[in-house]
Amino acid sequence: MGRRPPSGTGDLPIARRTRTRDRDERPCDDVAPRPRASSPSHPAPQRFEIVLEHRFVDPDVRKIVKRLVRYGHEAYLVGGCVRDLLLGRQPKDFDLATSAEPEHVRSLFRNSRIIGRRFRLVHVLFHGKKQVEVATFRRTPQTDDLEEGAPIRSDNEFGSAYQDAHRRDFTINALFYDIEANQILDWVGGMQDVQRRIVRTIDDPVVRFHEDPVRLLRAIKFAGRLDLGLDPDVYEAIVSCRETLRQAARPRVAEEILRLMRGGQARRSIYIAWETGVLDVLLPELSGLLYEADHDGSPGARLWRQLDYIDRRHQDGDQLDDTVLWTLLLLETMKEACEGQRDRASAVGEFLEGLVDRLAITRRSADGMRRIVAGLPRLLSGRPGRLSRSESYPMLLDVAEADRISEGRSIKVLEQLRREYHAGPRDREPDTDE
């Protein structure tokens, strides 16, 4: 399932080559260990010389790392920000991992606070409400205390950089970047997987998915959002372990479904979830529609076009409300539930009862979905009336626009209504059931 490997990190826009060409991205076995390297009781990482251009790394992050190192601690960029930089993407935030315990980090930065109960982290605060998360290296629970494949209930023990890398879920998320040495530290083969553009778990994927079933959805999210392939073993494990999602915490599952749609690749992500059978477990109502998407006018075909709409809005820089995302994902099934019903709001409410319980959809989103679907016919007629003064009206316009586009119909009326909305008064009436 892996995609064709790129020609090398030289093709990535934010990683530039260092030294001579024959040394690009080679493991730096000939580089002497730095004084703050990980404990000698653990295997040494492979080191890759990569200079990430300064303009892509937050200067406040660099200051934090330099101060921690100056006081004798290990400190690295970790996780998704390193992965994104290597893939040529601008990270949305930067996470740091360090050997310093939270109290030590707090003592070095007056502009910081310790948060969390299950596991303490430090947020270093800057102007403009910016904060940088600094975490102490962690390790997974001792094998004596945890049966292989049993769900992880606690992840609350400090460890080393090596242990911190191995407790992570996927190899591409377990790379550490040493800002001062301009080196990637790799204990898990993540650099090779970045180059191959595949998602691969650390250790046996079946065991990792049984430990935390939400990792199935995370694998799909990374493959979809980052345009990566799934390692064949990971793909097979997703298929064989998909039923474990029924055991996962419902709010976490609901949040991961939303993340599948937020990253600009909603169509690809939902397709992978459907192809692997994950959608059969989570949303069998939706999966059934897609199996019947055999002609252009079918509900399943319209759903794919509605997901395309979500992706286009993301590319345009618009962040659709979670209620809109849920509504578009389930719109065709809700429209079917309304067929032959005079009270559309009640029909949608009854349909959503099981889903709200199964996926822990928030009451705010469920109420919003009910009002949006009930108001669609009036809005599409071009006569919104009191709807245009409601707080949910912008969301209703978004859903109506996606619905019209999915049917191949004109949206001129909706564009005019949107212009009138933006030109109108700012005071809006609270949503109420009529």
Question: How far apart (Å, rounded) are the C-alpha atoms in residues 282 and 264?
Answer: 21
- Please confirm, yes or no, whether 93 is among the known catalytic residues: yes
Q: How many residues does the structure list for the chain?
A: 434
Long-range contacts of 58-66 (CB under 8 A, 24+ apart): 58/94, 58/132, 60/124, 60/126, 60/130, 60/132, 61/94, 61/96, 61/132, 62/179, 64/96, 64/109, 64/124, 64/132, 64/134, 65/96, 65/179, 65/180, 66/179, 66/180
Query: CA 165, CA 43: separation in Å to the nearest integer?
Result: 12
95 annotated active-site? yes
Q: Report which secondary-structure segment, H or E, holds 339.
A: none
Candidates 95, 186, 231, 398; catalytic one? 95
Backbone angles phi, psi at 407, to 5 degrees: -95, 0
State the catalytic residue, choosing from 58, 84, 164, 169.
169
Q: In the annotation, is 169 catalytic?
A: yes
Torsion over CA: 54, 58, 63, 69 (sign): negative
Cβ–Cβ < 8 Å for 134, 98: yes
Distance, CA of 395 to CA of 382 (rounded, Å): 16
Q: Which amino acid is at 80?
A: G
SS3 assignment, position 111? coil
Known catalytic residues?
93, 95, 169
